[in-house]
Amino acid sequence: MTPTDLVRRIVDENIKYVDYRFIDIQGTWHHFSTPVSQFNESVFTTGVGFDGSSIPAWKEIHESDMLVVPDPKTARLDPFFEARTLVMICDVIDAVTKEVYHRDPRSVAKKCIEYLQSTGIGDQAYFGPEAEFFVFDEIRFSNPADGSGGMYVINSTEAHWNSGEESEMGNLAFKIRAKGGYFPTPPTDTLQDYRAEVAGILEEMGIEVEALHHEVASAGQCEIDMRYEPLLDMADNLQWFKYVVKNTARKYHKTATFMPKPVFNDNGSGMHTNASIWKGDKNLFAGNKYTGLSQLALYFIGGLVKHARALIALTNPTTNSYKRLVSGFEAPVNMTYSAQNRSAAIRIPTYSDNPRTKRVEFRTPDPSCNAYLAFSAMVMAGLDGIQNKLDPGEPFDKDIFFTSARDLEGVITAPMSLDQALDDLENDHDWLLKGDVFTADLVQTFIDYKRREEVDNMRQRPHPFEFEMYHDC
């Protein structure tokens, strides 16, 4: 859709407001709106100003002026606002230099595809993330700055811990056991109508949905899968996906979270991420090697394996991510690859022999990540593998969760904490800098922000379980 088309659409559809959205390095969407009287085609060239110093890890207060330039191809009506509002996703521009801001994650994704094309290897990278999430009936948490305490409470009508609770309407049972939530029918699954409404809103917005279902964990874990799209489009769609999931939950008087591990001793929420590289209409991952993969795809896997520990800082970027990345909860921590095998960090789906479906599924990521950065980093790691012909080794075609340490000797494992992952990223990120896709400043800013605002803050706080373990020491 061209800028002229958008101006005409605003008039024809009686749109009242234009909403501008952009994303920070954390993966948080920000927005502001203007009445349509303030909108004209010039915003696509001159942009709209905002205060960059109020966005985490961006500008200092003495250099705060920035611009958003909307992408007309991203225009969609907001499905929740009462006043008809046209939303556009924006790129961020430095107000002084008028150049793309190098800490803008969306610009990183654009540069990644430009770099892929410049190598001559392929034209486009396609992504299909499977973002899991929880839908709770209630969540309460408190961490007073005065140090007087800390707590959280989760509640869900589906949760197994409520099987003995009394309620005003009576307890009707049909609770989901821990790790027992995969594909139950109603009345055990209480969230089908909710998921269907989310899927319907996404479809109306032009985001194709392939499947929707309850996931393994108790307490309302769900998954809704979108059809694969080019990297930038899918990163945009994932932002809409999270927005629709959360706001629809609020409509149902529930709350949705993409936090990787909110429930102790049950499965966490991952984001298994399917990826492939294409040239024209040819899927370059299809071939005659292992399970129908090409040699190029195997080299791509080699790059993922080699840079896994640094890559995971971007695909699993929260302290909570590493509470999910433990053996026994369907969270692969060993960087091996295998067909069908869901215990391997890199799985090769074998549902179809169609060459167009050949892809690599990286199972370690979680939905707390910034998709623009995470998807781009996956492509850059894979390209490094292709360019340097990195051998991923032999596939590991058995259940890794029950494999001896001796058999896993030499296998790269995921970091055990965000702190470790950030150290790995700091020591191994030259592959991200190729083509100026990521800049050294962006990488270091990401590391410094995560250490200061998350790792250090978490490390300094007493944990409720520490009182159980150590109060009587």
Question: What are the residue numbers of the active site?
Answer: 51, 130, 132, 215, 223, 272, 342, 361, 363
CA 96, chain centre distance (Å)? 32
Residue keyed to tokens 């929420």: 269
C-beta separation of 214 from 184 below 8 A? yes
Q: How many other CB atoms are found less than 10 A from the CB of residue 295?
A: 14
C-beta separation of 393 from 354 below 8 A? no
- Distance (Å, whole) CA 386 – CA 125: 14
Asked whether the CA dihedral 380, 381, 382, 386 is positive or negative, the reply is: positive
Residue keyed to tokens 């915003």: 43
- Classify residue 439 as exposed, middle or buried by CB count within 10 Å of its CB (0-12, 13-18, 19+): middle
Helices (H), 276-328: 295-306, 308-315, 321-324
Angle between helices 308-315 and 418-427 (to 10 degrees): 120
- Distance (Å, whole) CA 301 – CA 303: 5
Please enumerate in sequence order all residues whose Cβ is within 8 A of that of 173, keeping only pairs 6 or more positions apart, or say none: 163
Tokens standing for 11?
Answer: 């008039």
- Distance (Å, whole) CA 191 – CA 197: 10
C-beta separation of 335 from 413 below 8 A? yes
C-beta separation of 267 from 223 below 8 A? no
- Distance (Å, whole) CA 180 – CA 57: 41
C-beta separation of 310 from 433 below 8 A? no
C-beta separation of 106 from 68 below 8 A? no
DSSP code for 122: -
DSSP symbols for 351-401:
S---GGG--EEE-S--TTS-HHHHHHHHHHHHHHHHHTT----S---S-GG
Strand partners, 133: 222
Tokens standing for 183?
Answer: 């594909």
Q: How many other CB atoms are found less than 10 A from the CB of residue 461?
A: 11
Residue (of 432, 199, 422, 426) closest to 303 by Cα position:
432
Residue keyed to tokens 């917005």: 205
